[in-house]
Amino acid sequence: MSEKIRKSDAEWRALLSPEVYRVTREKGTEAAFSGCFYACKTPGEYHCACCDAPLFRSGEKFDSGSGWPSFWQPVNDAAVSTLSDTSHGMRRTEVLCARCDAHLGHVFDDGPPPSGLRYCINSLALTLKESG
């Protein structure tokens, strides 16, 4: 992993659109089935919308029916970090970009083999670098 990126709130606000800032820096969530990558089948690699770190590959993306892009594993174990999230009266595991601590979404243990995991990620937290 590259060196940790740390920016002030003002720096993030200047770099990101209000919607991306709300999701990634304020731990927001986009509406289900609204994100541009939910049904995307384009081959490529998904990167962090804040710092451009590689996070997920299209080959590990699957249709979970949840309304958000879902992946069964990140590009590598060091790409993301997790935190316990007990907000909204639920017990969940938050997924963060390991490089800049952007909120990406949540991970659940109801995904497909081989990992059994479902990384449920906000489209607004991602950019796609298409591959040929």
User: Which residues are the active-site residues?
Assistant: 120
User: Which residue matches tokens 């996070």?
Assistant: 55
- Nearest-Å Rg of the Cα atoms of the chain is 14
Cα–Cα dist 132/118, whole Å: 26
Rounded to an integer, what distance in angstroms lies between the CA atom of residue 90 and that of residue 106? 12
32: CB partners within 8 A, 6+ apart: 66, 67, 68
Tally of CB atoms within 10 A around 102: 28
